[in-house]
Amino acid sequence: MSPAFESFLARLYVDPSARDRFLADPRGAAAAAGLTAGEIAAAVEIDRAGLELAARSFAHKRRRQRKPAHPVVRLWRLVAKRVTMR
């Protein structure tokens, strides 16, 4: 797998507009990314439902990482960490 193909796939997972363009014209979007013929063929065969599911999952995880934990949760984590360190 080339770095160009890895970059293309990463964009599909995190960029909704790139994903929409790809889903509308998979072959054209892959060719525009400069992929090889084999990589274009692989991209065209991608599981679209799996792509959408993974993209939603990654977006959810990114949102959770940005949101600070509730103060009580932070306290419990601190207590749990101290208890396990003994």
Domain residue ranges in the chain: 3-85
pTM value is 0.67
Q: Report the percent of the chain where pLDDT is more than 90.
A: 64
76 band by pLDDT with thresholds 50, 70 and 90: confident
Instruction: Give the separation between CA 51 and CA 49, rounded to whole angstroms.
Output: 5
Tokens standing for 29? 């979007």
pLDDT at 58 over 80: yes
Tell me the pLDDT of the chain averaged across its residues. 90
Instruction: Give the separation between CA 69 and CA 74, rounded to whole angstroms.
Output: 6
pLDDT at 69: 73
pLDDT at 80: 87
Mean pLDDT for 47-72 is 86
pLDDT at 30 over 90: yes
